[in-house]
Structure 1
């Protein structure tokens, strides 16, 4: 496992220059960075920084975000995935993140699942053509994203398994999982073959691992037992730490030095 920094938040305390945060990540000994949306980012400067540092861009979000359960947005969703994949190829990024969109009124869970399945199959086909893996991310509806469709990692895994494409996998975000009351030591155990990326933050406070009450050694043991060898994204708030302090705390707590 290797650590990758979400530079949407990390190194924000050191520079307002977004591309400069890639150089900061290199200084901190990290091998990867990731961020959220791309259309508001300086793509040319990011590409230059990635090339100069050798840092891997591990993921970013399909932009604009469009629903996978609203059929009226299906064409826009396909266009967003296609255009984002072109940028991913330009930046040599192999993974892009998909959120689900909002629940539809008067629509059953089964119908939502079928609508999502259709959209994700199309996304996976684009991924197969472009060499990019799409990462489906369940996110919490209790605090940050009320009304979203996909807030369950079990359902997310069911969708990925149903599509059954090497170019669609789950992004397991421990913060969102904890907020939804899932047991992070067991929720993906036995199904980690469908997971291609993990993001971590402690609770309470969504801070760096080691600043809250999560039993991270048990989580890391589960991942090692499952032979997970992908990236672990540091996607958390700094709260009252600096980025460098937060990264040191994360490394010590997770026992991941790279």
Structure 2
């Protein structure tokens, strides 16, 4: 599966949502066995900003032993299985978030990962939206400086309405507004993450967003919609999307972030050169 779309694009597989029948530490090897040479993960320790040294080592060792590249990692986002979607905008959790960045830096040093998805956080009762946005911008600028020290990039993505609580970023334009605020605060290394499932679920125009924000596009993740299954299970025209990505000059990985209890990658044969 290291084969490419066109002549220059390669795949990656998100091991936090695929191969979930296996323990997390066995998933990089499963990805390698399936033919992939690159993986990405959500934060591996839900609700735990600073894992033990042995837990951190075991995660990195699993990636190294599998012989795959870690190309993307979610920053600490709270307890995602419990429904949380980031802590960036929560004034009470800034110290928690910032403590996790030391872990991020160590993982980056060991694995070479340089892309970090920064989930924004859900709207909080009793805290003005403007204050949450101010805190998020400040935390983004801080995180951008931290990962920028080793060449890292932060990614901002919208999430599907109705599935992620009161998450305020629903469209590409919402994400770009956050990117621009972060840049105004001095964080030049913040970019837009285009996820097909989330955008289409919210009625956004994926191809229009890719074209409009091509200069800000940092990463692409794919799943079909509705359903968040593999391409071909919903209504997205992936052939047209891949052609457009070639047209606008996107040369990054396309990460598979879909739900598939028994991962089937046969659909990829229709999208090879």
Range class of TM-score, shorter chain: 0.7 to 0.9
RMSD of aligned C-alpha atoms?
Answer: 2.5
- State which drifts further: 133-142 or 229-238: 133-142
1:73 to 93, 97, 102: 93
Q: Partners in 2 of 1:46 and 1:29 — Cα distance? A: 20
What is the TM-score normalised by the length of structure 1? 0.84
Cα deviation, residue 72, structure 1: 2.8
Q: Partners in 2 of 1:92 and 1:154 — Cα distance? A: 30
Structure 1 residues not aligned, in runs of 5+? none
Whether 2:61 is the aligned partner of 1:51: answer: no
Paired position in structure 2 for 1:123: 143
CA-to-aligned-CA distance 1:110-164 (integer Å, 9 cap, x gap): 555444322211111111124322222221222x112112222212112213333
| Contact 2:101 2:143 (8 Å CA) reproduced | yes
Whether 2:203 is the aligned partner of 1:186: answer: no
2:228 to 202, 206, 215: 206
Superposition map of 1:95-174 within 5 A: 95-105=115-125, 112-142=132-162, 144-164=163-183, 165-174=187-196
Q: Partners in 2 of 1:117 and 1:202 — Cα distance? A: 31
Q: Partners in 1 of 2:229 and 2:252 — Cα distance? A: 21
What is the TM-score normalised by the length of structure 2? 0.80
CA-to-aligned-CA distance 1:205-248 (integer Å, 9 cap, x gap): 21111222111111112211111111111111115xx31x2x22
Q: Partners in 1 of 2:202 and 2:173 — Cα distance? A: 12
Paired position in structure 1 for 2:32: 26
Q: Partners in 2 of 1:209 and 1:149 — Cα distance? A: 27
- State which drifts further: 48-57 or 38-47: 38-47
Paired position in structure 1 for 2:251: 229
Task: Look up the SS of the partner of 1:196 in the other structure.
Answer: strand
Q: Partners in 2 of 1:224 and 1:109 — Cα distance? A: 38
The structure-2 alpha-carbon separation of the partners of 1:110 and 1:48, relative to structure 1 and needing over 3 Å to count, comes to closer
Q: Partners in 2 of 1:107 and 1:11 — Cα distance? A: 38
Cα deviation, residue 5, structure 1: 0.8
| Paired residues, number | 248
Q: Partners in 1 of 2:210 and 2:127 — Cα distance? A: 27
